[in-house]
Amino acid sequence: MRDSSKPPQIEGLTLRQEGPGELVVRLAGDLNAAVVARLWEPALARVRAGGLTSLRLELDGAGYVDGAGLALLVKLHTEGQAAGIKVDMLGLPPRYRHLLDLAMRAEAPDAETAPAQRSPKGFLDGEFGFILRDLRELVCFVGESAGVLYGSFRHPRGVRWKDVIHQATAVGVESLPILLLIGFLMGLIMSFQSVITLQRFGGEIYVPNMLGLVMFREMGPLVTAILLAARSGSAFAAEIGTMHVNEELDALTTMGISPVRFLVGPRILASLVVVPVMTLFFNFASLVGGALVMLSIGFPLVTFTSRVFANVKATDLTGSLIKILVFSLLVAGVSCLKGLRTGGGASAVGRSTTGAVVSGLILITVADGLFAVLFYYFKF
pLDDT digits (tens, 9 = 90+) for 231-288: 999 999 999 999 988 888 888 888 888 888 889 999 999 999 999 999 999 999 999 9
| Cα of 211 vs its chain's centroid, Å | 37
- Angstrom distance (rounded) from CA 340 to CA 338: 6
Burial 105-116 (b: 16+ CB within 10 A, else e): eeeeeeeeeeee
pLDDT digits (tens, 9 = 90+) for 32-75: 777 777 777 877 777 777 777 787 877 777 777 777 777 888 88
Note down pLDDT in tens along the chain; length 380 residues: 444 444 445 666 777 777 777 877 777 777 777 777 777 787 777 777 777 778 787 777 777 777 777 788 888 888 777 777 878 787 777 777 777 777 777 665 444 444 444 444 455 555 666 677 777 877 888 888 888 888 888 888 888 899 999 999 999 889 999 999 999 999 999 999 988 888 888 888 889 988 998 999 899 999 999 999 999 999 999 999 999 888 888 888 888 888 888 899 999 999 999 999 999 999 999 999 999 999 998 889 999 999 998 888 888 899 999 999 999 999 999 999 999 888 877 788 999 999 999 999 999 999 999 999 998 888 77
Which candidate, 271, 286, 268, 270, places its Cα nearest to that of 179? 286
35 with 70: CB under 8 angstroms?
no
| H-type alpha helices, the chain | 33-48, 67-82, 94-107, 109-118, 127-154, 161-168, 176-198, 207-214, 220-227, 234-245, 248-254, 259, 265-296, 301-311, 314-340, 348-377
75 Rama sector, left if φ>0, alpha if ψ -120 to 50, beta otherwise:
alpha
- Angstrom distance (rounded) from CA 260 to CA 337: 9
- Angstrom distance (rounded) from CA 208 to CA 221: 19
For the chain, the average pLDDT equals 83
Phi (first) and psi of residue 344, to 5 degrees: -100, 165
* Residue 268 confidence (pLDDT): 93
- Angstrom distance (rounded) from CA 112 to CA 129: 20
pTM above 0.75, yes or no: no
- Angstrom distance (rounded) from CA 352 to CA 329: 18
- What's 9's DSSP letter? P
Q: At what angle do helices 265-296 and 207-214 cross, to 10 degrees?
A: 170
Residues in CB range of 129: below 8 A, 6 or more apart = 122, 123
**Could you give the strand order of the β-sheet that contains 54-65, starting from the edge strand earlier in sequence?**
13-19, 22-31, 54-65, 86-90
62 with 223: CB under 8 angstroms?
no
SS3 298: coil
* Residue 111 confidence (pLDDT): 43
Residues in CB range of 220: below 8 A, 6 or more apart = 183, 279, 282, 283, 286, 320, 324
Domain 13-116: assigned CATH number: 3.30.750.24
DSSP character string of 168-179: HIIIIITTHHHH
* Residue 126 confidence (pLDDT): 57
Domain locations along the chain: 13-116, 147-377
- Angstrom distance (rounded) from CA 191 to CA 204: 9
DSSP character string of 230-279: IIIIHHHHHHHHHHHHTTHHHHHHHTT--HIIIIIHHHHHHHHHHHHHHH
